[in-house]
Structure formats: C-alpha cells, structure tokens
Amino acid sequence: MAEHWHSLVANFAVVALFISTWVHGQFVLNTHPRWHKRLAFGAVMGLGAVASMLLAIPIDGALFDLRLSLIAIAGFFGGPIAGAVAVVIAAAYRLGVVGGSAASAAVLSMSLMAVIGWAVSRATRHTVPAIASVVLLSLAPLVVSLVLNQTLHALVGLPLTPLSQPVALLNVAATALSAFFIMRYRVIERERDLLRAAFLNSPDFQYVKTRDSRFAAVNLAVARHHGFREPAEMLGKSDLDLAPGERGRRLFDAEQQVLRSGEAMTDVEEVIVNAAGQKTWYLTTKVPLYNRDGQLIGLGGVTRDVTVRRRLRDEAEDARNRLNYVLAGVADGVAMFDRYGILRYCNEQYRDAFPLTRQARVPGAHIIDILRAVAEAGEQKGVTAGLEDEWAEQVAATLDSASEQEVELFDGRWLLVRTRPTADGSALVVVSEVTELKQTEAALLTMTAQLKQLATTDGLTGLTNRRAFDAALEAEMSRSRRSGLPLSVLLCDVDRFKAYNDIYGHQAGDAALQAVGLSLKSAIKRPGDVAARYGGEEFVAVLPNTSEDGALLLAEQFRESLKAQALPHEGSESGVVTASIGVATLVAGDAALTAGELVKRADEALYAAKHAGRDRVLAWRPQAEARARA
C-alpha cells in the first residue's frame, strides 16, 4: 500500500509541475491570437494527463491517477477548445498505448470531466464568487470518479478497490489547488497588464533606466518622440546617444547625481527651442529605484509636455497684469469677496473711498469685521446705535444677491455700492462716488417741485390755478362717489370789478384780487380743501366731506372777512369791495353728476346771488330756488 501512496504523491507532483509550467511559460504566447493560447493550454493539460497516467496505479485494468483534475482545469479555464484538445491527447494515450477493458470508460470519464469543467465555468461566470465556482469544479472529479467506479462495478464486475476514494479525494485537492493557483496568477497577470498598458500608452514620457543611465523600459510616447517605432528599439541607449551635444551630457550628469545622492529630482522645467524658433516646455521628475533589499537598481522618470499649460499660465499672467493695470486706473473701487465673506482682492480706490476704515479693508478680512469697524468709526450715516451687529449682518447678507445701495458717509460724500454675485458663490463689489450726482439730483428735485408749483399756481394770487383745480375736482368727485360723503364747491365773483378797474386802475385791481385770494385762503383751513382762481375776478373752492350747511357757513365767513377789510369801491353799492358766492353740493343721489355740471350748479347759484343784490351767499336749488343762509 505504501508504494501506491508514493505513486499518488508523484501524480500530485506531476499536476503541480504542469500547472506551474503553464503559468510561468504562457507569456511566450502573449502576442498570439487567443485561440492559439487555448490550443496550447489544452495540449499542456493533455500532456499532463498523459504524465499522470504514466505514474498511475494499475489495478484490474483500471488506472488510478489524477488526470481528471487536469482535464477539468482545461475545460474550466480554456473552454471547449482546450478541453477537447486535452481529452484527445489523453484519450489517444489511454486507448492506443494503455488499452485494457476500462479504456472506454476512462475516455468517457475524461470527456465528461471536460464538459463539466466548461459548464461550471459558463454557469458561474459573473454570477457567483470565484471561490464558489472553484468548489463546484473541485467536486466534479469526486462525483465522476465515484459514479464511474460504481457503474463499472455494477455493469462489468470491476472490483471496488480501497484506492477509489483516496484517488477521488486527491483529484478534488489537485483540482482545487490548480484552479486557485491559476486564478491567483490571472489576477496578478491582469494587474500587470493594466500597469503595462498604462505605462505604454501614457501620453507622458515614462521610462526606467539602469544605474548607468541606459533605458531599461520606455513607453510608446518616449519611443515615438525619439523616432522609434517600438519601445524595444530604445533599450540599452542613453541620453548621450539620443540628445545632441551639451544637452545629452547635462541630462546624463543630472541623472547620475540623482543616483549618487539618492535624492529625487522633482518638477524640473526645461525649454527646448527647435530650428524654427518654436519653444516647447517640459516638466521632468526622476527618482532613484531600490529593490526589496534597499539596493539601488536604477532610476524612474516621467517627463511631461507642459507647453500648453505654460502658455496658458503666461496668458493668464498677462491678463492678470492687464486687469491690475485697468483696476489701478479706474476711478471706481473694486473688491472681490469669496463665498464665505472673506475679502480676496481690492484695489486702492476701494480702500481710499472709506478713509476711516481703510486699514480694515485688506485681503483676508471678513465682511462682518469690516462693517463693525465702519459702525465703530461712525463712517456711515444711518447706523442705529445699539443695533450695529444686526446692521452688519443685514448688509453682509446682500453679498448673496445683486443689489445697489446709496451710502452717505460722515463727510457728506455719497457712494453707490453695487454688488454682483458670481457663479462660484463669490461677490464682486463696485464702489462709485456719486456725490455730485446726488447734489445734481437734489437740485433737479427742487427745480421740479418749483416747476410743479409754478404749473399749478396762479401767478397773481398764489392760489391753485384753473388747470390744477379741474384735476383736484375730478379726483375729489371720484373719492366722494366711492365713500358716499358729500362734496361742496364754492364759486365766488368780486362785485362790480370792472367798475373797480375803471375807477382805480388795473394795478389796484390786481391788489384787490390778491386781497380776495388771501381772504379765501384764510377761510379754508383743512389740508384737503383747495382754493383756486377760476379766471379774472372769479374764485373757486373745493370742500371734500363738507355738507351744504358747512359750505354755506364757510362761504359766509369768507364774505364777511372780505367785507371787513373795507377796501374802498366807489362803484359798488356798499362802497367797499365785496363778493357774491354760489354753493353747490354733491350728495349720494347725484352719483351721475359730472364735475362740469357741479360747477355749473355753483355758477347758477352765484348768478342768483348777484341777481338778488350781490354781497351774499346762495346755495343751488332746482328751478333756481336759491335761499340765503342767515
């Protein structure tokens, strides 16, 4: 029995030998098509199965060996092509050389094992963890061996030997170890291929050199840059062979210095000028390489073409210089705050605009601190004492949105502060002095008010003129209709005024009209009442929210105050200047009445007052039924 175990151990060694041979020798086929590699894999596994059978233990025409593990591995990793090749080679040996009564059953078991290996691979790929698929594959030889032995025992009477189960278990172990070893190597190979592809296809110049500065490995970019088709053509060369004259010696010496000192050369910039005068910038990093024992074995380097970046940097510098020149020359102050409210840039004009807090407005200062300095110095008007922090927070919040604010400073100057947020969350602040503009604006407002006053005022009496009266009457009538409150109109006429002008002259007549206007204005005391010169010697008053009785009372007060002035008038019945007054009132039932109709009613009442003897007040009545108020 001991010699049998020696044979089985030798079988196990054969499996390990052929698996290791394939793993370490398959690189020879890396440049060949994939199907070539699968044919070769199947052939190696088939020869391994033959070697296993050479060391098999023959018992009653049956061979006990580990060939099924190699056949299963061929089907699992190589697919139908490798599995078929392995089975053909192993079956040819089993049938043609060994023979025996169990030869057909052996070929069947190998074929079945190849199919099972391929099926397990297809069924578990990308669906279960790799360890699970290895377990399923490893159990296949056990099942096939035991089932086949039981079948042969039942059909042809092949005796069951004590070796059946140990051999089946060894097949399981050999399959599991082989699958694990190949899978592990494939992971390493895949990582190596990724690194190799990244190295070869990198757009940067990547290379590895020996201790004497000769190229040991280069990528495609390096090879193409120096005019070689393949990286292998550069191996063994140095910069002395590739770079002309002094430059090659300088590169060589710099690398040797790195190797001697052990210190890396990082981001060294070099500019190359071609025959046409065009400049190309390169950025190079070179580091010494050490093995596991810490021994210096060479040098690794990366050189990057940074021409575009250098030109962009130069253009950015030029643009920044031009921008600084512009910002230094403009009259406005310019500042840039980041998304956190930190001042990142400001020109001198910005700082000069705020003389009391100039020192606080420096890059790195926070907007809140700047505003607190403004409040403490009293630089800006309108900051409520005791609420400085709240004011600072409120102003700082304006950085988040576009805004324009006019700020009055302590010295009477006005600044326009415009804030514009940017896409990255920063805020651009532009400060313009608008003191002259504010002064001009104030002057224009004064002039506008004066013009408005002139446009709505009678030049002789200072009362509202006819145009402004018409507009006021229309507005008050609309308001009266909405509110339902009464509205009264007084229409006054100076008695015998033509005679007055004839006797005393027009200048005296103007003075008399001014006295009448002053008396009317004095009689009207409420802010909403309007007194106006209607034309010539006629005056009018609009009395909102005033009933007929109230209007009659006010009119009577005006009449009496005018008469009390005792302005001499020889052409008048009373011997002094007097006035006749008509009163008309808009009440709730007169909703359809127009402004013109209301004035017409007042005129009718005025006519009635004159017809009744002048120097009196009458209210409008239908069919001219006027009555005097006692």
Q: What is the pLDDT of residue 553?
A: 93
- CA distance to 314, 378, 438, 588, per residue, from 356 (Å): 38, 8, 22, 65
Question: Do 75 and 159 reside in the same domain of the chain?
Answer: yes
Confidence (pLDDT) at 630: 36
**Does 170 lie in the same domain as 83?**
yes
What's the rounded Cα separation, in Å, for the pair 58 and 290?
Answer: 54
Partners of 606 in the beta sheet? none
- Position 147 pLDDT exceeds 70: no
Are both 28 and 121 inside the same structural domain? Answer: yes
Residue 444, domain member (yes or no): no
Q: Please state the separation of Cα 575 from the chain's center in Å.
A: 89
Asked if 409 contacts 381 with a C-beta cutoff of 8 angstroms, the reply is yes
Nearest of 185, 183, 80, 81 to residue 134 by alpha carbon: 183
| pLDDT tens digits along 434-444 | 888 777 777 77
Q: What are phi and psi of 417, to 5 degrees?
A: -105, 110
Cβ proximity of 397 and 369 under 8 Å: no
Same domain, 393 and 515: no
H/E element, 163: none
Looking only at the bridges linking them, the beta strands covering 296-305 and 279-290 are antiparallel
Active-site hit among 255, 537, 538, 604: 537
Looking at the domain assignment, is residue 431 inside a domain? yes
- Domain contains 462: yes
Residues 192 and 217 in one domain: no
609 and 464 inside one domain: yes
Same domain, 191 and 209: no
CATH number assigned to the domain comprising residue 148 = 1.10.1760.20
Output Rg (C-alpha) for the chain, integer angstroms: 57
Decide which of 198, 229, 248 is a domain's last residue.
198
Instruction: For residues 538 and 568, state if they share a domain.
Output: yes
- Domain check: are 219 and 187 in the same one? no
Give 316's Cβ-side CA count (13 Å radius). 6
Can 537 be counted among the known catalytic residues? yes
Query: For position 173, what pLDDT does the model report?
Result: 83
Confidence of residue 568 (pLDDT cuts 50, 70, 90): very high
What band does 13 get if pLDDT is binned at 50, 70 and 90? confident
List, as one string, the DSSP characters of 69-137: HHHHHHHHHHHHHHHHHHHHHHHHHIIIII--TTHHHHHHHHHHHHHHHHHHHHHHTTTS-HHHHHHHH
Higher pLDDT, 7 or 613: 613
241, 227 contact by CB (below 8 A): no
pLDDT band of residue 300 (cuts 50, 70, 90) is: very high
Residue 446 covered by a domain: no
374 and 495 housed in the same domain: no
Number of residues in the chain: 630
Higher pLDDT, 56 or 594: 594
Q: Is the pLDDT of residue 626 over 50?
A: no
Q: Residue 604 is part of a domain; what is its CATH number?
A: 3.30.70.270
Where is average pLDDT lowest: 127-131, 266-270, 347-351, 618-622?
Answer: 127-131
In a domain, 357, yes or no: yes
DSSP 8-state assignment for residue 614: S
The CATH number that applies at residue 383 is: 3.30.450.20
Q: Is residue 443 part of a domain?
A: no
Which structural domain, as residue segments, surrounds residue 276? 203-310
Residue 451 has pLDDT above 50, yes or no: yes
Question: How much is the mean pLDDT over the chain?
Answer: 85
- Residue 620, in any domain of the structure: yes
Mean pLDDT of 266-289: 89
For 238-252, what is the mean pLDDT?
A: 88
In a domain, 132, yes or no: yes
Confidence of residue 30 (pLDDT cuts 50, 70, 90): confident
Average pLDDT on 423-437 reads: 88
Q: Count the Cβ atoms, other than its own, within 10 Å of residue 399.
A: 21
Co-location of 413 and 493 in the same domain: no
Q: Please, which pLDDT band fits residue 627 given cuts at 50, 70 and 90?
A: very low
Question: Quick check: 623 pLDDT over 50?
Answer: yes
Domain-terminating residue out of 255, 279, 310: 310
- Mean pLDDT on 294-299: 92
Domain count, the chain: 4
Last residue of a domain, one of 174, 198, 222: 198
In this predicted structure, the answer to whether residue 127 has a pLDDT above a threshold of 90 is no
Q: In the chain, how long is the greatest CA-to-CA distance?
A: 170
Same domain, 65 and 110: yes
